[in-house]
C-alpha cells in the first residue's frame, strides 16, 4: 500500500509501505494492504510505519526508528484510506 | 546649454538609483522562488482536505447545522485586508485599497464595517477612517501555518460569538510573477454545500467506515479548512507581493537605464559644444594677434 503523510506546509513522506498503525480517535489501529475505505480523526500519538522506508534527508530528523518501525509523532489530524492508498493529514 | 557638472551629478544619481532597483529586483526574484515553492508545498494538504470535507458534506443526511454556517442578517462585517508591509511593489497595495473602497460603497453599503489589517499598508489606510479590529502586520516576520492558525481561530471566535455577522478576506491571489488578481473571498459564514447524489451513491458502494461519525469529523475539519483558507490567502499574497515588486523594479531599472542613456547623450553633446567653443575662442584669439 501507499502511504502519504502531509502537513499544511509540506509533504513529509510518500512511498510504498507494508502496513501502518495510526492513533485513531478511538484508539490505535493498524491498516494492512487493501484495508476497507475509512475516514478517521486522529488524536495525539505516533504514526508507525512498517516496512522498508526511505526517508527524505531533509525530513529524516522528524522521524524516529524503533525495532523495525519508523515513527512519526502527530498532535492530531485526519486519515483517509481509499484504493489501497492511505493519506495522513497531520497537524 | 546645460551645465556639465549638473548633468554629471544627475547621471551619477540615476546610476545609483538603478543599482538599488536592480538589487531589489534580484532580492524579490529569490524570495518569489521561495514563496512559490511554499504554495506548491501546501497544495497536497489543502486539496485533500477540501476533497474529504466536500465529499463528507455533500453526502450528509440532513443539515450539518454547523455553528460556522449560520446565516444571519448582516449588520456588522469584518474585512480582513491582506497587503504587504513595504511599498515599492507597483499597484500591489493600491489595488487592495481600491477593492476595500469598492466593497464599502457597494456590497457592504449600510453595514458597519470593521477591519483587520494584515500588512502595514492596509493598516495605514484603514486606520485613518474606520475602526480597526486588530493589526496583524507582524505575521510577515514569520509566516507559519501555526501563526496563521491563531488568527483564523480569533476570526472564528469573533463570528461564533456574534461580534460579526460576516467576515470576508481581501487579498492578491498569485497567478504568475507578473499578474496578481485581487480576490474577495467569503470566510464566514460558510456557504451551504449542495447535496451530490452521485457522491452519495459512490460512497455507499465503497462502504466507507467513519470514525467517529460523519458529523463529528466535519465539525473537526471545518476549522482546519478555514485555517487553510486564510493560510492560502496569506501565502498567495506573499508570493504576489514579490512578483509585483520584481516586475515594478524591473520596469524601474529599465526606465533608469533609458534616462541614463539620454543624460549621457546630452552630456556628450554639451561637452562637444564646450570644446568647439573653446577652439573657436583660441582660433579667434590667434587670428586677432596675427592681425
User: Which percentage of chain B shows pLDDT scores above 70?
Assistant: 98
Tell whether B211 is within 8 A of chain A (Cβ): yes
pLDDT band at B148; cut points 50, 70, 90: very high
Verify that B43 and B164 share a domain, yes or no. yes
Cα dihedral across residues A26, A32, A37, A39: positive or negative: positive
Interface contact B182, partner A, CB < 8 A: no
* Exposed e or buried b per residue across B208-245, where buried means at least 16 C-beta atoms within 10 angstroms of its C-beta: bebbeebbebbbbbbebbbbbbbbbbbbbbbbbbbbbb
Average pLDDT of the residues in B150-169: 94
B44 with A6: Cβ contact below 8 A: yes
B18 plus B88 within the same structural domain: no
Q: Do residues B65 and B112 share a domain?
A: yes
C-alpha cell read off for B120? 502595514
Q: Residue A17 belongs to what domain range?
A: 2-90
Q: List Cβ neighbours of B256 (8 Å cut-off, separation of 6 or more).
A: B14, B15, B17, B18, B21
pLDDT at residue B2, rounded to an integer: 62
Instruction: Tell me which chain B residues have a C-beta less than 8 angstroms from the C-beta of A25.
Output: 211-212
- With beta carbons less than 8 A apart as the criterion, state whether A63 and A54 touch: no
In a domain, B291, yes or no: no
Please count the other Cβ atoms lying within 10 Å of the Cβ belonging to residue B271.
13
Looking at the structure, tell me whether residues B128 and B163 fall in a common domain: yes
Note whether residue B220 is domain-resident: yes
B29 at interface of A, judged by CB pairs closer than 8 A: no
Contact B45 A6 (CB under 8 A): yes
Q: Does one domain contain both B133 and B175?
A: yes
Compute the 3-state secondary structure of chain B and give helix, strand, coil in percent, each to the nearest 5. Answer: 65, 15, 20
Q: How many CA atoms lie within 13 A of B59 on its CB side?
A: 20
Instruction: Tell me the per-residue pLDDT of B1-15, one tens digit each, with 9 for 90 and over.
Output: 568 899 999 999 999
pLDDT at A58: 82
Determine which of B90-104, B187-201, B206-220 has the lowest per-residue pLDDT on average: B187-201
Identify whether B195 is part of a domain: yes
- Do the Cβ atoms of B49 and A4 come within 8 Å? no
CA B26 – CA B37 distance, rounded (Å): 17
Give the domain extent around B11.
Answer: 4-27+250-284
What confidence score (pLDDT) does residue A60 get? 85
Domain identity same for B61 and B181: yes
Task: Provide the shortest C-alpha distance from residue A47 to chain B (in Å).
Answer: 17
Mean pLDDT, rounded, for B237-258: 96
Query: How many CB atoms are located within 10 Å of the residue B260 CB?
Result: 18
Q: Quick check: B206 pLDDT over 80?
A: no
Residue B240 covered by a domain? yes
Gap between the Cα atoms of B177 and B250, Å rounded: 12
- B102 and B17 in one domain? no
For B66-92, b where at least 16 C-beta lie within 10 A, e where not — what string?
bebbeeeeeeebbbbbbbbbeebbbeb
The mean predicted confidence, pLDDT, of chain B is: 91
Mean pLDDT lowest for which of A61-75, B57-71, B229-243, B268-282?
B57-71
Is the predicted pLDDT of residue B250 greater than 60, yes or no?
A: yes
> Would you list the DSSP string of A36-67?
PPEEEEE-SEEEEEES-----GGGGGGEEEET
Q: Are residues B47 and B116 in the same domain?
A: yes
Distance CA B120, CA B123 (A): 5
DSSP state of B201: H
* Contact across the interface for B144 and A24, Cβ inside 8 Å: no
Return the CATH number at A9. 2.60.15.10
Is there a contact between B149 and B234 (Cβ–Cβ < 8 Å)?
no
Nearest CA in chain B to A29: B211
Q: Are residues B172 and B279 in the same domain?
A: no
Range name among A45-49, B22-26, B194-198 with the lowest pLDDT average: B194-198
Residue B87 forms part of a structural domain: yes
Please tell me the distance in Å from B135's CA to the nearest CA on chain A.
24
Q: What is the pLDDT of residue B166?
A: 94
The answer to whether residues B209 and B103 belong to one domain is yes
> Domain holding B35: CATH number?
3.40.1380.10
Contact B211 A10 (CB under 8 A): no
When divided into structural domains, chain A yields a total of 1
**Main-chain dihedrals φ then ψ at residue B103, nearest 5 degrees:** -55, -45
Do residue B178 and residue B242 come from a single domain? yes
Cα dist. A84→A8, A18, B130, B280 in Å?
23, 11, 54, 93
User: For the domain that residue B270 is a member of, what is the CATH number?
Assistant: 1.10.287.80
Cβ atoms within 10 Å of B280's Cβ, excluding its own: 10
User: In terms of domains, do B135 and B276 share one?
Assistant: no
- Rounded Cα–Cα distance for residues B226 and B230 (Å): 6
* Count of structural domains, chain B: 2
Q: Which of B52, B207, B212 sits opposite A36 (nearest CB)?
A: B207
Residue B290 lies in a domain: no
Report the complex ipTM.
0.89
A39·B41 Cβ contact <8 A: no
* Phi, psi for A39 (deg, rounded to 5): -120, 125
Query: Could you tell me the three cell numbers for B106?
Result: 457597494
B22-58 tens-digit pLDDT: 999 999 999 999 999 999 999 999 999 999 988 888 8
Amino acid at each position: 500500500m501507499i502511504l502519504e503523510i502531509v502537513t499544511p506546509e509540506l509533504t513529509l513522506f510518500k512511498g510504498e509501505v507494508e502496513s501502518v498503525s495510526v492513533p485513531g480517535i478511538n484508539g490505535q489501529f493498524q491498516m494492512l494492504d487493501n484495508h476497507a475505505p475509512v475516514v478517521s480523526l486522529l488524536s495525539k500519538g505516533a504514526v508507525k510505519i512498517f516496512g522498508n522506508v526511505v526517508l527524505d534527508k531533509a525530513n529524516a530528523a522528524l522521524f524516529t526508528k524503533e525495532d523495525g518501525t519508523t515513527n512519526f509523532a502527530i498532535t492530531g489530524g485526519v486519515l483517509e484510506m481509499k484504493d489501497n492508498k492511505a493519506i495522513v493529514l497531520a497537524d | 546649454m546645460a551645465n556639465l557638472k549638473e548633468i554629471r551629478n544627475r547621471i551619477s544619481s540615476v546610476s545609483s538609483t538603478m543599482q538599488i532597483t536592480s538589487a531589489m529586483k534580484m532580492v524579490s526574484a529569490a524570495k518569489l522562488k521561495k514563496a512559490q515553492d511554499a504554495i506548491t508545498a501546501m497544495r497536497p494538504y489543502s486539496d485533500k482536505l477540501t476533497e474529504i470535507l466536500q465529499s463528507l458534506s455533500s453526502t450528509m443526511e440532513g443539515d450539518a447545522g454547523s455553528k460556522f454556517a449560520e446565516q444571519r442578517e448582516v449588520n456588522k462585517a469584518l474585512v480582513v485586508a491582506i497587503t504587504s508591509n513595504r511599498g515599492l511593489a507597483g499597484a500591489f497595495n493600491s489595488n487592495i485599497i481600491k477593492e476595500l473602497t469598492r466593497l464599502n460603497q457597494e456590497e457592504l453599503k449600510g453595514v458597519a464595517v470593521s477591519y483587520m489589517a494584515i500588512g502595514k499598508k492596509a493598516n495605514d489606510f484603514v486606520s485613518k477612517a474606520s475602526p480597526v479590529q486588530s493589526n496583524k502586520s507582524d505575521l510577515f516576520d514569520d509566516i507559519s501555518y501555526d501563526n496563521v492558525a491563531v488568527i483564523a481561530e480569533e476570526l472564528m471566535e469573533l463570528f461564533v460569538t456574534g461580534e460579526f455577522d460576516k467576515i470576508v478576506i481581501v487579498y492578491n491571489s498569485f497567478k504568475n510573477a507578473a499578474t496578481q488578481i485581487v480576490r474577495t473571498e467569503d470566510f464566514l459564514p460558510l456557504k451551504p454545500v449542495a447535496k451530490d447524489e452521485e457522491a452519495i451513491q459512490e460512497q455507499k458502494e465503497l462502504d466507507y467506515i467513519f470514525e467517529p461519525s460523519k458529523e463529528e469529523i466535519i465539525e473537526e475539519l471545518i476549522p482546519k479548512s478555514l485555517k487553510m483558507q486564510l493560510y492560502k490567502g496569506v501565502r498567495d499574497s506573499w508570493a504576489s507581493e514579490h512578483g509585483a515588486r520584481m516586475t515594478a523594479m524591473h520596469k524601474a531599472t529599465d526606465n533608469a537605464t533609458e534616462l541614463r542613456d539620454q543624460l549621457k547623450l546630452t552630456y556628450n553633446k554639451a561637452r562637444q559644444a564646450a570644446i568647439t567653443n573653446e577652439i573657436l575662442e583660441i582660433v579667434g584669439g590667434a587670428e586677432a594677434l596675427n592681425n
